[in-house]
Amino acid sequence: MGGNWAGDIIARDTIIWDKRVVIGNSGVYIPTDIRQWISNKDNEVIRRALEEIGLPTSRQSGTFDIRAWRIWDYTAQIVEYVADKKLTGLEDFWLFPEETLILRKGDCEDSSFLLAALLLAGGISEHCIRVILGQVVSTDSAYGHAWVIYKNEQGVWCLLESTLDSVPDRLVPADAFTQPENQYQYQPQFSLNSSHLWWISPIRIQMADYLEMRSKGPQPRLST
**pLDDT, tens only, 65-113:** 999 999 999 999 999 999 878 888 777 889 999 999 999 999 999 999 9
Average pLDDT over residues 127-139: 92
Sorting pLDDT into bands at 50, 70 and 90, what band is 1? very low
- Look at residue 135 and tell me whether its pLDDT is greater than 70: yes
Q: How distant is the alpha carbon of residue 121 from its chain centre?
A: 15
CA angle (11, 171, 35) in 5-degree steps: 25
Give the pLDDT confidence of 171-216 residue by residue, as tens digits. 999 999 998 888 889 999 999 999 999 999 876 666 766 676 666 5
CATH number assigned to the domain covering 9-216: 3.10.620.30
d(CA 111, CA 97): 8
Which tops the pLDDT comparison, 217 or 131?
131
- Domain positions in the chain are 9-216
3-class DSSP state of 42: coil
Average pLDDT over residues 147-172: 96
Q: How many residues does the chain have?
A: 224
Res 140: pLDDT: 82
Pairing relation of β-strands 15-16 and 21-22? unpaired
How much is the mean pLDDT over the chain?
88
